Structure 1
Amino acid sequence: MIDIDLVRRDLTQLVSLASVGGSESEVLAQRWCAATLAGLGLDVDLWQIDVDAMRADPDHPGEEVERAEAWGCVATSGPGTPALILNGHVDVVPPGEPEAWTGGDPWVLREVDGTWFGRGVCDMKGGVAAIFAAARAVAASGVELKRPFAVHTVVGEEDGGLGAFATLRRGHTGDACLIAEPTAGTIVTANAGALTFRLELSGSSTHGSRPDAGVSAIEVFEAVHAALRRLDAERNAAPPAPFDAHPFPISVGTIQAGDWASTIPDRLVAEGRFGTRPGETFEQARAVFEAAAAAADHPWLEKNPAVVTWPGGQFAAGSLPEGHPFLDEVRAAAGDPAMAAVGAPYGSDLRQYAAAGVPTLQLGPGDIANAHAVDESVRVDEVVAAAETYARLILARCS
C-alpha cells in the first residue's frame, strides 16, 4: 500500500533542494537520499566520488557543468547481487526566471487539481519519490525477500552521467535495472545517443553600411546550418525499431555573434546537440557531422572552414537486448501486458547500465515533454501508480 502523504512529504523535501548540476544542493540531495533510505532499513553506501579519477578514465561520459564535489548513494535490502536495481537521478536543470513560474518559486512543491508542480517533479524527482515509496511499501508488507534489491540515486545525469558512471565503477551492479525517468505510459527500451558540438565560424568585419565589403559570419552560419538540416533529414528518414519519427535530431541551442550593432560580425560560435544512432561510434558520428559542416555551400568556407569541437557530455545509444524477458516482467508489474515499448530520442543512464551488461529499461511517472519546462509538472496518480508498479516488481523479482 502506497502512503501518498509520505510521497508528498518526500517530494516536497526533494524539490526544496535546488539540486542544479554542480551545485551544493546536488550534494545535499544525495545526503538526504542516504539518510532517508537508511531510515527505511536499507544498507547504504554513501561515498565521495573521486571526480578527478573519473575524469581521467578513458570512458568518462563527459560533463557540462563545473563540479568540484560529487557523491554516490546506493542502498541495498541485503547482501548479495541485487535481483533488481531501481535508479533515479537527483540533479535538475536550472529553472529559468522564477517570475515565469505560476507559483513564483520553482523550489516549492505546489499541488493543484491532482498535479504536482515544481522544478524536477517530472525529471525526475517524482520517479525518485516513487522508488522510495515502493521500498517503504515492501518493507511494510512483511514479505521476506530471497534476493536483495538496490536503489541507486545518482548525480550528473543531465550533463553526461558522472553519477551512474561512478556507481558502476564502484562495483554496484545487479541482474536488471529500471530507471524511473518519465515515460508517459510507455516503456522505453532504447535510447538514442547525443553529443554536444561547438561550431566556430569566421567572417570579415566591416561597417554595417557596407555589408558587401565584408563577410558576415552569420551568413556563413546560415549555409552551415542548412547543411546540417539536410544531414538531419537524411539521418532520420528511416529510423530503426523501436524508434518513432525523428529520433536522432540535430539542434542548435546557443548562438553568439557580433559585438556592435553596426559592424558586420567576423566571428560566430554556435553550440548544440547531435543525435547519434544505435551501433554508431562517437568517432563515426563526429566524422559524419564534420563532413557535413565542411561541405556547406558558401565560398568563404573554402579557405576558412568551420572549426568543430566536441565539449561536454557524451551520451551513447543503448538498448535492452531484443527479446529479453525483463520487458514482460515490467509489463506484468504495471498490469498492462500490451504496454508499448518505444525508443527515446534523448540520452539517459540506460546506456551506461546496458554497456555494463545490466539489462535496463525506463518506466516512470510524467511525460518528457514537461521536463525542463516552466511549471514542470507530474500527476499525483501517475507517481502513485509508478510506486505500486515498482513495489510489485521488487516482490516479483526478489521474493
Structure 2
Amino acid sequence: MTVSVDSSAVLAHLDPDQIAADLAALVGLAPVDGTVGEVAASHWCADRLTELGAEVDHWELDLPTLRQETEFPGIEVERTEAWGTVGIVPGESGGVPALALSGHLDVVPPGDSALWADDPFTVRERDGRWHGRGVCDMLGGVAAVLGAVHALRTSGIRLARPLAVHTVIGEEDGGLGAYATLRRGHTADACVIAEPTAGHVVTDNAGSLTFRLVVRGRAAHGSMRTSGISALDGLDVAREVLRELEAQRNTGVGERFAHLLLPFPISIGTVHAGDWASTVPDVCVAEGRFGVRPGEPVAAAQATLRAALDEAGRGDLWLRDHPIEVSFPGGTFAPGRLPDDHPLLDVVQDAAAGAGAPRPRATGAPYGSDLRLYAAAGVPTVQYGPGDIANAHAVNEYVEIDEVVRCARAYVLTALRLCG
C-alpha cells in the first residue's frame, strides 16, 4: 500500500501509550463470560467511544426474546444482564458504514491463578509483550481498534463514509453479542474482526458444535461386575466411532485449511460417570466439541454424528436396545467464509503491509467465531488481529506489543481506504 500524505498524518497520531492504557483498563475489569465484569466492559466501551467522538448506541439486550429466536446462536453460561455497544464515527455522506471494526470483550476464566506469574487481570509488560487474561483473545485487538479510532479523531481527518466499531460480548460461548448487534440493524459494507490471526488474514472459519452424549448401563455391586453393564463400556464404543468419524471428515480439507494438522477435530472435554467407587456406573454423560466443515449446514453435521452413533449401536447387544442419547446444548458455531475474489482481502493485505508487517496470506481457521454471523447477515468479513490463537486461553497469556501497534496502523489504513 502506498501511504499518502493524509494517511501518514493520521498514523503519526497513533499513541501506543493510549493503547496500553485502554488494554489495561479492559483487562482490569475481568470481563469473564456471564459476570459483572463482562457488563462493566460494555459500559466502559460506551464511555470510551463517546470520548472518541463516536455516535454511540448502548442498549440492554432483551435476553428472553433473543433466546426464543430460531437463529439464536446459543449460550453456555448464565446471564441475567448483557449489553450491546456500537460506536459510529460519522462520515460526510452518512448512510451505512463502509467498514465495521469488531471485537469481543468477553474472556474465559483464568483457571488456577497460582499458576500465573502475576495477577491474571493486571496487565504486565515483559520482554516486549503484554501479559494478562484476554490480552491475546482478544482485548489486544479491541485496544488496537480503539487506538485506530483515537488516531483518526486526534488527526482531525474527516471521513467520507461512516466507520463503525462493534464491541460485543458472549463470543466465547456462542456469539450472543454479535448476533444481537446485527439483529438491531448495525451492519456495514465490510467487516474486519480483530481476532488473533498470527500474522495471517483469516477468510474462512470452520464451525463447531457442543455435543452431549448420555450413555446408559446397568448398575451392580463392584464385586459382581459381570452382572452389570458399565456405561463406560458404551462410552468406549462412542469414542471409537468419533475417532473414525474424525478421520473421515478431515480428508479433502481444501487449500485454506491444508496448513492445519486437524482442521475439523472431534473431542470429548468432560466425562461424568458413577456416584460410588464400588458400583458399576449405570449412566455416563460426556460433552465435547464437533468440528463443522466449511459449507456444511449445522443440521447436516448434527445428523452425521447421530447417524454414526446409531450405526455403531446397532452392532452392540446392549446399545441396540439402549441407544446413546445425543443432544447439542450450548453454542452453535456455523462455518463462515469471505466470498471468493472479494476485494476486502486485498485491502486488508495491503493495509497490513503498509503498516510494516509482512504481507499476510489468506488462511482458514479451525475454530468458530463471529465471522460466520456477519457473513450470514451479508457482511463480507475477515479476521486480522494481533496474537496467535495458540496463546489464547493459556496460562500467562500474552501478545506482542509491536504486533498490537502494527494492527492498529493496519486498521487506520483499512478505514482510510474504505471510508475515504
What range describes the TM-score normalised by the shorter chain of this pair? over 0.9
- Aligned counterpart, 1:260: 276
How far apart, in 2, do the equivalents of 1:328 and 1:374 lie? 35
Alignment correspondent of 1:161:
175
The answer on 1:195 being equivalent to 2:213 is no
Q: Does 1:51 align with 2:63?
A: yes
**Mapped partners of 1:131, 1:144: distance in 2:** 18
Alignment of structure 1 residues 73-222 onto 2, 5 Å: 73-78=85-90, 79-103=94-118, 105-222=119-236
Spell out the pairing of 1:298-313 with structure 2 (5 A cutoff): 298-313=316-331
What CA distance in whole angstroms lies between the structure 2 residues aligned with 1:66 and 1:298? 38
Given that 1:180 and 1:362 are in contact with CA atoms closer than 8 Å, whether structure 2 keeps it comes out as yes
8 Å contact 1:227–1:295 — kept in the other structure? no
1:385 aligns with 2:397: no
Counterpart residue number, 1:314? 332
How far did 1:347 drift?
A: 0.4
Change (3 A) 1:98 1:247: same
Deviations 1:197-253 (A, max 9, x none): 000001112222232221111121011111011000000022123113321111111
- Flag structure 2 segments of 5+ consecutive residues without an equivalent: 1-11
Matched residue, 2:378: 357
1:367 matched to which residue of 2? 388
Could you tell me how far apart the structure 2 residues matched to 1:50 and 1:177 are? 25
Is contact 1:331–1:337 with CA below 8 Å preserved after alignment? no
Matched residues in 2 for 1:179 and 1:242: separation? Answer: 18
SS of 1:391 mapped into structure 2: helix
Q: Which residue does 1:20 correspond to in 2?
A: 32
The one-letter code sitting in structure 1 at the alignment partner of 2:103 is: G
Give yes or no for contact 1:138–1:395 (8 Å, CA) kept in 2: no
Conserved 8 A contact 1:328-1:337: no
Mapped partners of 1:215, 1:163: distance in 2: 45
Identify which of 282, 293, 297 aligns with 2:298.
282
The DSSP-based 3-state class of the residue aligned with 1:283 is helix
Aligned residue pair count: 398
After TM superposition, the structure 1 stretch with the greater mean CA deviation from structure 2, 345-354 or 138-147, is 138-147
In structure 2, C-alpha distance between the alignment counterparts of 1:298 and 1:233, rounded to whole Å = 22
Write the mapping of 1:331-350 to structure 2, written as runs, cut at 5 A.
331-335=349-353, 338-350=359-371
Shift of 1:309: 0.8
Structure 1 position 327, deviation (Å): 0.2
Could you tell which deviates more after superposition, 31-40 or 336-345? 336-345
Alignment-mate amino acid for residue 114 of structure 2: E
Q: Check the 8 A contact 2:61/2:84 in 1, yes or no.
A: yes
* Separation in structure 2 between the aligned mates of residue 113 and residue 338 of structure 1, nearest angstrom: 25
Q: Which amino acid aligns with 1:251?
A: S
2:343 aligned residue? 325
User: 3-state DSSP class of the match of 2:53?
Assistant: coil
Q: State the alpha-carbon separation in 2 of the partners of residues 35 and 142 from structure 1.
A: 20
SS state at 2:202 partner: strand
| Match in the other structure for 2:266 | 250
Match of 1:293 in 2: 309
| 2:192–2:381 contact (8 Å) kept in structure 1 | yes
